[in-house]
Chain A
């Protein structure tokens, strides 16, 4: 897919808002990493009192553009104007001083400090040069109150949920009276109520004249919240659009540079076929459980079958996966692999039985950021062979080439360092690593989290392809649409126990699963 296919260039909309002078105007921004051209002459302008969405697939350059604006990355060429003045920030501190505050995707606060300390850190009121703690706490409490957060400012930040930490991070951004607030994927770990609360805060800030740059993969949220949007693809700006003048279909095709029909074609291929679950299951868990993690459950996964695990965050989905993958040891119950009793003491034991587990936390438990794409892909295969029997280079090249193509890993450069890849592409590399070991059961924990539509459709198609070729797949996702679309059977988790299991048919919809989660299996 090349950028020449798109050809769609947005004409900047014009009305009253346009008369306002942009708070931020970035022109011709280019940044190059070794082996990757991350941004190529990108323009972006933010007006006061608007929510501006920055859209694009993973690897399109959204995060890089944000980091260029906040001074985390230096720019190779281009110009950044803030309030009409040229600026080149050497770090987030300078950007903040100029009124640009950022809330990152992974909450970047200090869990070892209290909520109040985190909010005020670096901006504490002083008296005679010393930090005035009573006033610091009072001001932190005021900021929490304006956010509608009812938590103890003296409590440790680590004791709160990610959602609360996110709101604390925004409170922190508002301490500096930001003119520009950048929200990088703020909603990826929030539930519906928390999103609503966040949005009301964002709207209030917008009405106060703050320019908000909003990045999200949830198209619905973007259309609900944003006034204008800039679309990026492969490090190039596709165009700037008014949200009200763009349909979802148009937006998606601009983001991926393919017409919608192609995307729909992908989705048709991921439609589930009714499973044939005869014969002995590949894995069979009976009464498997672990104290404090998940209550005893039964679960079978057959060859050629996709079993979906549905449930809310923290319902025990991941814990089930970890037990089946040997990452945690079970206290109770038995696990049979191909009918033979298996006691999985560690992941190695699971791997030797051809069970592969792709963790939800790809940063900490998955990819090795300092190795290349090539090294990451063959890591699992090499480990399986043992370090003494080195894979021949030619074979490695072949394997790497095959997966880079099959999974459409971008950039298609096996020698690029993994840290320079976007989240979605890192996820694909992780998948490739497990696929290279030819597993018979593939456990995927949130493989599509934080991934754009195009990559998501690709991964979904891959999963259904793998299953149709005989692989057993356990698929975990917070997005119920995805679970319903892909799975042959769906196990529903709630409050750390398995509450229901249903066989997927064409009549089963997301509503049915939601109802099961809500009712706890008693319908």
Chain B
């Protein structure tokens, strides 16, 4: 996936200018993503060597199925971090979206109404955050922290208890999948997640909005003086992140067949970790959405290995992720230092 991105973006221009040598030389900007790819491959090799059945299609398919919601969150987070911001509200918004969906479905509202509605709830919270960040110049950290508490509080206001979902349409959608043979399974949530990734990739690399996102990360003042629509873009990235969180809540509800106020506590941090491990700089301006997907897969693979090990406490996942995050941040720092 990432190699596709690299070859697309670094593609030789049709005037035939680039030589073979230039094509072989890797653009520095792809280095962090390549690092993530290496870690991903290493994890696969280690897992495959230690456990039978690890390198199976089923494990890979489950990797996507179990992490579809996190992929969607990480995609939204990538937009925000690329502009140099941060979004701490996504975990709570995910919970709010799930709880709202479960509550409305239990009340008998048709799934066709509920699904777009809860996604819109996410967009709306994103819009509020964007307005706070842009109009009132509140630090993104604080604005999204406020949104985080706000959304979490709303969850409990709606329903403190876990609400099971048994709406027929919703369940049918959640359990729909397509078998491409053997253990391979492609569920509706994975399809949605992959569609989100594709749309995000298109937005970031093939629209002016996406280029403005990168430009803001490179220097907000510069972007403004270049005449780019900085204000609109800054609000929009939070709307996108909120929308992704709303959609993520839907996917999580499909995954767990319920809505519960306490889901997704700390999940925003998982999303940030995935984005950073995927090679996006927290200072903004550098990174790729496909790297973030890879980051989520690395996190998922660590979890899978810990599960396969069996005797290990599941908290080992956190320890390994923490260590990995540290290594990646230090590596990025070294790369940045060497550049300057």
- B-chain residues with CB within 8 Å of residue A131 when the two chains form the complex: 205-208, 211
By the criterion CB–CB under 8 Å, are B285 and A122 in contact?
A: no
By the criterion CB–CB under 8 Å, are A93 and B229 in contact?
A: yes
By the criterion CB–CB under 8 Å, are A110 and B222 in contact?
A: yes
Contact A108:B339 (CB < 8 A) given known A131-B205, A137-B13: no
Count B-side interface residues using an 8 Å CB cutoff: 36
- A-chain residues with CB within 8 Å of residue B285 when the two chains form the complex: 110, 112-113
Q: Assess whether A33 is interfacial by the CB under 8 Å rule.
A: no
A129–B212 Cα distance when bound, in Å, is 16
- A-chain residues with CB within 8 Å of residue B18 when the two chains form the complex: 154
**Shortest distance in angstroms between B218's beta carbon and chain A's nearest beta carbon?**
3
Q: Assess whether B316 is interfacial by the CB under 8 Å rule.
A: no
- B-chain residues with CB within 8 Å of residue A202 when the two chains form the complex: none
Q: Assess whether B52 is interfacial by the CB under 8 Å rule.
A: no
Closest partner residue, chain A, to B214 (CB atom)? A113
- A-chain residues with CB within 8 Å of residue B227 when the two chains form the complex: 91-97, 122
Main SS at interface, chain A = mixed
- A-chain residues with CB within 8 Å of residue B17 when the two chains form the complex: 141
By the criterion CB–CB under 8 Å, are A124 and B11 in contact?
A: no
The contact string, 1 if C-beta is below 8 Å from chain B, for chain A 89-107, is: 0011111110000101000
* Residue in A112, A122, A131, A137 with the greatest tally of chain B CB atoms within 10 Å: A112
- A-chain residues with CB within 8 Å of residue B214 when the two chains form the complex: 110, 112-113, 117
- A-chain residues with CB within 8 Å of residue B218 when the two chains form the complex: 110-113
By the criterion CB–CB under 8 Å, are B217 and A112 in contact?
A: yes
Q: Assess whether B202 is interfacial by the CB under 8 Å rule.
A: yes
A72–B230 Cα distance when bound, in Å, is 13
Contact A124:B211 (CB < 8 A) given known A112-B217, A134-B13, A134-B14: yes
- B-chain residues with CB within 8 Å of residue A172 when the two chains form the complex: 226
By the criterion CB–CB under 8 Å, are B211 and A117 in contact?
A: yes
- B-chain residues with CB within 8 Å of residue A138 when the two chains form the complex: 13-15
By the criterion CB–CB under 8 Å, are B226 and A124 in contact?
A: no
Q: Assess whether B116 is interfacial by the CB under 8 Å rule.
A: no
**Shortest distance in angstroms between B7's beta carbon and chain A's nearest beta carbon?**
12
Closest partner residue, chain A, to B224 (CB atom)? A92
**Shortest distance in angstroms between A340's beta carbon and chain B's nearest beta carbon?**
34
A102–B224 Cα distance when bound, in Å, is 12
- A-chain residues with CB within 8 Å of residue B11 when the two chains form the complex: 133
The contact string, 1 if C-beta is below 8 Å from chain B, for chain A 122-154, is: 101000011101100110010000000000101
Q: Assess whether B286 is interfacial by the CB under 8 Å rule.
A: yes
- B-chain residues with CB within 8 Å of residue A154 when the two chains form the complex: 10, 13, 18, 27
A109–B126 Cα distance when bound, in Å, is 29
Q: Assess whether A295 is interfacial by the CB under 8 Å rule.
A: no
A172–B228 Cα distance when bound, in Å, is 13
Closest partner residue, chain A, to B222 (CB atom)? A108
By the criterion CB–CB under 8 Å, are B211 and A109 in contact?
A: no
The contact string, 1 if C-beta is below 8 Å from chain A, for chain B 21-61, is: 01000011100000000000000000000000000000000
By the criterion CB–CB under 8 Å, are A108 and B208 in contact?
A: no
By the criterion CB–CB under 8 Å, are A92 and B225 in contact?
A: yes
* Residue in B11, B17, B206, B223 with the greatest tally of chain A CB atoms within 10 Å: B206
Closest partner residue, chain B, to A116 (CB atom)? B13
Q: 17 interchain pairs (CB within 8 A)?
A: A91-B227, A92-B224, A92-B227, A93-B229, A110-B219, A112-B218, A112-B286, A113-B214, A117-B211, A121-B212, A121-B215, A121-B226, A122-B228, A130-B206, A131-B207, A133-B11, A156-B27
Binding site for A on B (CB under 8 A): 9-11, 13-15, 17-18, 22, 27-29, 202, 205-208, 211-212, 214-215, 217-219, 221-229, 285-286, 339
Q: Which 8 A-B pairs have the closest CB atoms?
A: A110-B218, A93-B227, A112-B285, A112-B218, A130-B206, A108-B222, A96-B227, A92-B227
- Starting from the known contacts A154-B18, A158-B339, 14 additional A-B residue pairs (CB-CB under 8 Å) come to A72-B225, A94-B227, A95-B227, A109-B222, A110-B215, A110-B223, A112-B286, A121-B211, A121-B212, A124-B211, A130-B202, A137-B13, A138-B15, A156-B29
